[in-house]
Amino acid sequence: MPVSISGSINAPDGVAIDGKVYINVYHAWALDGELRHPVEYIESFEAIIGRFSIEFAYPLDKGEGLLVYAWLDNDNDGVLCTPSDRNDLAGLTEVDSFPAAEVTVQIELTAACAGPDWFFPPAT
């Protein structure tokens, strides 16, 4: 199913925003029974801080729901943090009312060195 995502990726005030932003989209959940698990990878994109727009083919038969995860590569090393550099920020949003052909999201980069599992599923 073709899906178009638009929206904004925002960093806290005072954070350098010159770096590339990496976006990953995931199924919120995949498979059934004991194999049911969250955060099943679909595809990756690149963007910059601020407004963005991406399109991709959502595989309806591979899972359900949609997560949009992003991280800001402050030091342009292509890696979300190193053992000594802990400043790259990440954020994730779960899309409400999905599936849908067009969605709008706002992602706040709030957590340093955080993979998507840091955010989802959230603590209850």
- Interface residues toward other proteins, by CB under 8 A: 31, 34-41, 79-83, 113-115, 117-118, 120-124
**Distance (Å, rounded) from C-alpha 69 to C-alpha 20?**
14
Q: CB neighbours of 14 closer than 8 A, spacing ≥ 6?
A: none
Residue placing its CB nearer to other proteins in the complex, 51 or 62:
62
Residue ranges in the chain assigned as alpha helix (H) = 116-119
In the complex, what is the shortest distance from the CB of residue 101 to other proteins, in angstroms, rounded to a whole number?
A: 26
d(CA 108, CA 12): 8
| Smallest gap from residue 47 Cβ to other proteins (A) | 18
Cβ closer to other proteins: 39 or 95? 39
Q: Do 25 and 39 contact (CB within 8 A), yes or no?
A: no
Nearer of residues 14 and 86 to other proteins, judged by Cβ: 86
Work out how close the CB of 45 gets to other proteins at its nearest, in angstroms, rounded to a whole number.
16
